[in-house]
Chains A and B, each alone.
Chain A
Amino acid sequence: MTAEVLVLVTSAGLFAIGAAGLLVHRHPVAMLMAIEVMLNAANLLIVLAARVRGGVDAESAALIVLVLAAADAVIGLGLALALFRRKAAPDVDEVAELRG
């Protein structure tokens, strides 16, 4: 097993762990952390591809993904705080409608 294959397998495992964590949690902040793990798994795969192919564009795309992760954390945490304002222990399943 080469180091590249090891990183590949790790990336797949991280994505699966994040997906499982997203479903098992009812806490909005914990769900967001699971989403961050999934984003990191995808980013690891992008960086590995940049290394294997020797292409620098993919590495720049990985940097842009980092910024995207920051933006989604900001919006998600804002929503989580709004949920916690209504209830001390909110259940994300109860929030089922959007209102403008």
Chain B
Amino acid sequence: MQSQFVPVLVGCAVALLSALGVVLARRPIYAAMALLVHSLSLAALFGILSAAMVAVGQVIIYSGAIVVLFLFVVTLLPTGGRELAPNTNRVGAACVAGGGMLVALAAALASGALPPTAAVFDLGVAAVGHSLFGPLVVAFELTAPLLLVAIVGAVVIWRRHEPRSTTTPRVLEATPRRLVMHR
């Protein structure tokens, strides 16, 4: 994998810089754009790491669906999603947490050495399909109800705060129910 060092370096640099852009952008629309660049750079890294299926999934699901969903929400927000300015406590907590996380992860990574890269591997689409419908079939099938529950949950959260409908007449709510007998 040494011949791929320069592409990996470029991909990692773009991923890190765009992640910084996501975090540091003051307006959510710029953050969403940085997230788009970030997900595309990660898709490139997945492609270099010979995970073509995940790279395609990243482009379709992440860049195509999730980032577009974020953009929709940002455009729906009143005043484009104004944010209160972060106070010094928050910035301090973020620096401590980010630095601590980095130190902890670096210590964990430095303690163990990477095994030598496998010379023979098959990460093609057919192999991924066999794996998805073989050992991982339960997890794969459970993603369908998960998405369904997520959609229903989002609708329920939204409808709960919806103002009362104006099409139904208010008079009916005030009068008590009467029993009407039909022949």
Does the CB pair B83–A33 fall under 8 Å? no
Contacting A at CB under 8 A, from B157-173, are 157-158, 160-161
A7 touches B62 (CB 8 A): no
Interface residues of A in 15-62 (CB under 8 A from B): 15-27, 29-30, 32-34, 36-37, 40, 43-44, 47-48, 50-57, 59-62
Cβ distance A42 to chain B, nearest Cβ, rounded Å: 11
> Across the interface, do A44 and B70 meet the contact criterion of CB distance under 8 Å?
no
> Which residues of chain B are within 8 angstroms of A15 by Cβ–Cβ distance?
101, 105
CB–CB B95/A81 < 8 A: no
| Complex CA distance for A75 and B1, rounded to whole angstroms | 39
- Beta-carbon contact of B81 and A56 below 8 Å: no
CB distance from B121 to the nearest CB of A (A): 3
Q: Is the beta-carbon distance between A88 and B151 smaller than 8 angstroms?
A: no
**Which residue of chain A lies nearest to B117 when distances are taken between CB atoms in the complex?**
A52
Asked whether, in the complex, the Cβ of A2 is within 8 Å of the Cβ of B9, the reply is: no
Contacts known (A26-B90, A61-B136); A74 close to B84, Cβ less than 8 A:
no
Given contacts A16-B99, A59-B123, contact A37 B19 (CB under 8 A): yes
Find out whether the CB atom of B12 lies under 8 angstroms from the CB atom of A51.
no
Find out whether the CB atom of B154 lies under 8 angstroms from the CB atom of A75.
yes
* Size category, A interface: 35 or more
Interface residues of A in 60-78 (CB under 8 A from B): 60-64, 66-75, 77-78
Q: Chain A residues near B130: list those with CB within 8 A.
A: 56
Instruction: Say whether B76 contacts A81, CB under 8 Å.
Output: yes
CB distance from B75 to the nearest CB of A (A): 11
CB-CB nearest in chain B for A90: B84
Min CB–CB distance A7 → chain B (angstroms):
6
With A24-B23, A24-B86, A74-B151 already in contact, the answer to whether A36 and B139 are too (CB < 8 A) is no
Q: How far is the CA of A8 from the CA of B157 in the complex (A)?
A: 38
Docked Cα-Cα span, A49 to B177, in Å, equals 65
Give complex CA distance A78, B152 in Å.
Answer: 11
Binding site for B on A (CB under 8 A): 2-10, 12-27, 29-30, 32-34, 36-37, 40, 43-44, 47-48, 50-57, 59-64, 66-75, 77-82, 84-86, 88-89, 91
16 contacts between A and B (CB under 8 A): A7-B49, A26-B84, A33-B22, A36-B66, A40-B62, A47-B46, A51-B49, A53-B115, A57-B131, A67-B147, A70-B61, A71-B149, A74-B69, A74-B153, A82-B158, A89-B82
